[in-house]
Amino acid sequence: MPRLAYVNGRYLPHGGARVHVEDRGYQFADAVYEVIALRGGRQVEPERHFGRLDRSLRELRIDWPVPRHVMRFVAETLVRRNGVRDGYVYIQVSRGVAPRDHAFPAAARPSLVMTTRRTRPFDAGVAGRGVGIVLRPDIRWKRRDLKTVGLLPNVMAKQDALDAGAFDAWLVDDAGTITEGTASNAWIVTGPGVLVTRTADADILNGVTRLGVLDLVREAGLRFEERPFTVDEAKRAREAFLTSSTNWIRPVVAIDGDPVGDGEPGPLVRRLVAAYAESFGAV
């Protein structure tokens, strides 16, 4: 069965799917996206993803290309036709095709593109393995709460991390506090055992996995704070981890080559990995 992509109303062979050269997503990064995890052929927390997509579109004054329920139906159809059980569906909406000009075009119609990708089934053992991260300056624009396709600073920081033998980079703002990873949210556990993650304001993307973990934290009655934390706090933390739709929960056991805690995944993050696997790992 050939792999399909969806482009503006048509299911097309993935290898031949195209958008117009003057699509504003290509020329200006004038587009937003969502990545929804798939487990057992079903979308994980789709309402949160589509709610965040709606907010990104409204903030950038881009219309929905199709009604929300139609977009969800298209995503489900693409997943089914591609036979994807475990993986993700990628959804991108641009402002559309128009002659190149910085100003919003008066008559452009939003473009909608979807693709799917297979991944290995969720494995709590893999998710529980520790990874190392490096720190890099946060040079992104100031509306990181919007999930736009303008990701060049993220790409550069990710490549820096890989070149350094690390899994990812955590980004540091001018105040010396950690914002987030290149495609993930950052968490630490303080010496007294308080879980800390940055407040979901314009400085970070309010990750769907972040929200799911916070649900589990509240249900378990764990102590937590939503606030900025410094590089020094991160390096002195008892535990650290990152969250994202594609990586779930991954313990961070080293920062810039220095161990976090004892350099092994700690008890709290192991507990969260198990709880998240029970809730979302085998839908």
Catalytic (active-site) positions: 147
What spatial distance separates the first Cα and last Cα of the chain, rounded to whole Å? 24
CA distance linking residue 115 with residue 88, whole number of Å: 9
Alpha-carbon radius of gyration of the chain: 19
Q: Which residues of 217-256 are buried (b: 16+ CB within 10 A; e: fewer)?
A: beeeebebeeebbeeebbbebbbbbbbbbebbbbbbbbbe
CA angle 261, 264, 269 (to 5 degrees): 85
- For 10, the token pair is 């048509």
